[in-house]
Structure formats: structure tokens, C-alpha cells
Amino acid sequence: MSTVNTITEQLTRAGQAIEHDSFAIIDQEVGPHGYTPQQWPIVRRMIHANADFDFNGLTRFHPDAVRAGLQAMLRGGTPIVADVEMICVGLSKPRLAHFGMMTHQFISDADVIAQARAEDTTRAVQAMRKAQRLGLLDGAIIGIGNAPTALIELVRLIREDGVRPALVVGMPVGFVSAAESKALMAGLDSVPWIVIDGRKGGSTLVVAALHALLALAEAQQKQG
């Protein structure tokens, strides 16, 4: 009988061996770190996604981030709201289906574009506002990997409108407001978050972090 985990692992033995060997190399070369046993698999998968050991240290966790993320996944049906389609496309459909999760993004919706033009804001800002109007943000997992203005707007919605996502994975990349947006998110105690300090980030890292959380959720589920 096959031991390949078809929800959170590679689908072939060869692929599984490569992935596991990659993780072993990372564990060997990474050096010391201060992450907990539940945080480290997330950071390790982020390093694996970019071959960049800087994420050992740059990645920061709200004290309740992993627990909150796992709880949201295990309860089933939790929406994932992303700033861009790339995150939605990158997430494994079988993994999401296992927990009854669906993804949402509104960056290219006609009404979002029109409102951004009318208010002279970004599409990312209006996409977060649309998600809020649709009632998708409370209790959701939010993944932001591209647009700092989406994360800044989310922080505003948390502070001013009392929005309460289950978890924010805030990792926008860039040179304008990227570092500042993540610092704003990391300054909140009321909502769990995972962020990357500085300019580095990207949608692939959000996907990697969420896949690691999905793997941890399934492992916890199997333990009963």
C-alpha cells in the first residue's frame, strides 16, 4: 500500500524524495534559529520556495499565529482571501478541498478598477474593501504577497472597523511601502500574523507558508 500523502505531499515517490532531501539540506545548512517546532516547517518551506536562507530571521510570527491558522483550517470551510490571483492559482486545489476551503481575489474586478479610478486609490485597496463588504474578511485567512497597499488597508480595517481575520500572512514584496506595511501589521496584537521584515516577500512565499500550514493541519488531524 502506498504511503504517499496525496493531500500535502508530492504525488510520486521521486518527487517526495526530492522534496524531503531538499528539506534535509536546508536543515543541515540553515544554522541556528529561534523558531518553535511548529514555526520552523513554515520558514523551511519558504526557504525551499526561494533558495534564500535570509528568511531564517526575516520571518516573524505573532505568538498565536500557527495555532490560529491551524484552527481555522481544521474547522473547515475557512475562506482564503488573497491580494492577487497568483496566490489563488498557486495553492493546491486538493489540499484546499481536503479542508473545504475556497480562495477569493478581486484585484481585476471591473467594479474594483472603477472605484480605484474614482477615488484615486489602488486596485488592491478597493479589493480589500470589496472583500469586507462581502463579509469575507472576518474569520478568514488573508494572504498578501504583492500589494503593500492591500496590507495597509487591511490594517486600517482591523483598527477602525474591527475586522478580525483568523490569520494574516502578510508578505508583500517591493520598494515602496512594502517594509512599512509589514511593520504596521506586526504592530498589531489583536489579529495573528506572519510577516517578513524588510523589502523581501512575494506571492510564492505566501503560498509556501500556507502549504506548510495545510501540511501541519493534516498531520494534527491524523493524530486525532
Tell me the catalytic residues.
48
User: Taking a C-beta distance cutoff of 8 angstroms, is the pair 10, 3 a contact?
Assistant: no
User: Taking a C-beta distance cutoff of 8 angstroms, is the pair 66, 213 a contact?
Assistant: yes
Record the cell numbers describing residue 28, joined without a space. Answer: 543541515
List of residues 6+ apart from 41 with CB closer than 8 A: 212, 215, 216
Cα–Cα distance between 89 and 103 in angstroms, integer? 9
Sheet strand arrangement including 141-144: 59-61, 193-196, 167-170, 141-144, 80-82, 103-104
Record the cell numbers describing residue 148, joined without a space. Answer: 503593500
> Within 10 Å of residue 10's Cβ, how many Cβ atoms?
15
Record the cell numbers describing residue 45, joined without a space. Answer: 518551506
Cα–Cα distance between 98 and 116 in angstroms, integer? 36
> Within 10 Å of residue 139's Cβ, how many Cβ atoms?
16
Record the cell numbers describing residue 198, joined without a space. Answer: 524588510
Record the cell numbers describing residue 216, joined without a space. Answer: 501541519
